[in-house]
């Protein structure tokens, strides 16, 4: 009997089943599946639809089980990572309110701080009614740069997720804003190139 070569495309689930079949038995498995399919009664379209729906449902249930396992694994891994990092928790709302108070005091007192490299100086220009902290670059006179609660909280969360110690420049994307937050926060200190929460 003449044999014809055909390609077989399999999704990940089918591929894992295929790989579990010994190589010398795969041809017989395919032939049996084709014979079984040909012997099925296809006269009733309703039966054909039932079989098709049953297969689709089984595939969805298999996928759902796989997703549940993956979610469980990721949740467990996240807990492990957070435990390893000794994740710290703080009250971000209170921290922000305290920060606004400190920013207003710094504005009133004319406090000035430097960039990490010491090449620029900054101070609080204003704290607006919508709770934006505006900064002034004393070297350039620019006063439009500002940040608000979202930037502040995200920066602190990054710091806390790393156990209260993060490399300078990695806490808040805009350096000028990071300088301000570090300078104004009473529990943030610079140590050997890192911002440390004490």
According to the model, what pLDDT value does residue 66 have? Answer: 84
pLDDT tens figures, 144-158 = 999 999 999 999 999
pTM of the model: 0.56
Reading phi first (left if > 0) and then psi (alpha if -120 to 50, else beta), residue 169 is in left
Would you kindly state where each structural domain of the chain is located, as residue ranges? 44-84, 92-197
pLDDT at 160 over 80: yes
User: What CA–CA distance (Å, rounded) separates 171 from 173?
Assistant: 7
Q: List Cβ neighbours of 162 (8 Å cut-off, separation of 6 or more).
A: 85
Specify whether the CB–CB gap between 106 and 124 falls below 8 A: yes
Q: Using one digit for the tens of pLDDT, what is the confidence trace for 51-75?
A: 788 888 888 888 888 888 888 778 7
């Amino acid at each position: 009997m003449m044999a014809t070569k055909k390609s077989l495309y399999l999704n990940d689930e089918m591929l894992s089943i295929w790989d579990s079949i010994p190589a010398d038995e795969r041809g017989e498995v395919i032939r049996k599946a084709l014979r079984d399919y040909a012997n099925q009664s296809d006269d009733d379209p309703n039966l054909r639809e039932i079989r098709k729906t049953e297969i689709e449902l089984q595939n969805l249930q298999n996928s759902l089980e796989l997703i549940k396992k993956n979610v469980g694994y990721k949740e467990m891994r996240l807990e492990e990572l957070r435990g390893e990092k000794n994740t710290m928790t703080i009250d971000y709302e209170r921290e922000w309110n305290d920060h606004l108070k400190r920013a207003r005091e710094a504005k009133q007192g004319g406090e000035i701080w430097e960039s990490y490299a010491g090449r620029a100086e900054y101070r609080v220009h204003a704290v607006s009614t919508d709770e934006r902290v505006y900064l002034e670059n004393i070297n350039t006179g620019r006063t439009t740069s500002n940040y608000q609660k979202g930037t502040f909280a995200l920066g602190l969360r990054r710091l806390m997720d790393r156990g209260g110690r993060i490399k300078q420049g990695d806490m808040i994307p805009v350096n000028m804003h990071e300088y301000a937050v570090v300078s104004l926060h009473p529990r943030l200190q610079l140590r050997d190139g890192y911002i440390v929460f004490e």
